[in-house]
């Protein structure tokens, strides 16, 4: 069983009478745990997920470790940076969602993402109704 955190923005206030209701962004499911893709791809994973400061920071630290450390230690330092990035990646993604206005709304336990969506629909149908 994996845990997924659900991030959803609160429903928007109703508009004037006769206007269509404003749509909220759909909820986002973020799995808990180590991100192998972030550990392997490094700053590219952070850039793909629009975590710009984290991508630049990892790139600068990786280049600095490769250039400034002596030969036997540079590979170990770069490997350690990528392992730390794998452990921190999903937490940084959650923090970005909170900054964007999608706070933590629920936690779902499921073996995969599809079943997590199904369980979310059963537990919190109010979150799914706000999705476009």
Residues 6+ apart with CB under 8 A from 37: 45
pLDDT, tens digit (0-9, with 9 covering 90-100), for 66-87? 999 998 899 999 999 999 999 9
pLDDT band at 131 (very low <50, low <70, confident <90, very high): very low
Residue 18 above 50 pLDDT? yes
pLDDT band at 56 (very low <50, low <70, confident <90, very high): very high
High-pLDDT (> 90) share of the chain, %: 75
pLDDT, tens digit (0-9, with 9 covering 90-100), for 97-129? 999 989 999 999 999 999 999 999 998 888 876
- Determine the pLDDT at residue 129: 60
Return the domain boundaries, the chain.
1-27+102-132, 33-100
- At residue 110, what are phi and psi to the nearest 5 degrees? -160, 160
- pTM score > 0.75 for this model? yes
Instruction: Report d(CA 55, CA 33) in Å as an integer.
Output: 19
Instruction: Report d(CA 80, CA 65) in Å as an integer.
Output: 10
């Amino acid at each position: 069983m994996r845990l997924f955190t659900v991030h959803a923005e609160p429903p928007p206030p109703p508009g004037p009478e006769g206007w269509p209701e404003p749509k909220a962004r759909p909820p986002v499911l973020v799995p808990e745990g180590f991100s192998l893709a972030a550990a392997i791809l490094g700053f590219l994973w952070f850039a793909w997920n629009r975590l710009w400061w984290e991508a630049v920071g990892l790139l600068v630290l990786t280049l600095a470790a490769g250039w400034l450390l002596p030969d036997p230690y540079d590979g170990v330092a770069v490997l350690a940076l990528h392992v730390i990035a794998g452990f921190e990646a999903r937490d940084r993604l959650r923090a970005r969602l909170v900054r964007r206005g999608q706070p933590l709304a629920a936690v779902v336990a499921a073996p995969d993402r599809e079943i997590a969506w199904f369980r979310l629909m059963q537990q919190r149908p109010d979150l799914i109704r706000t999705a476009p």
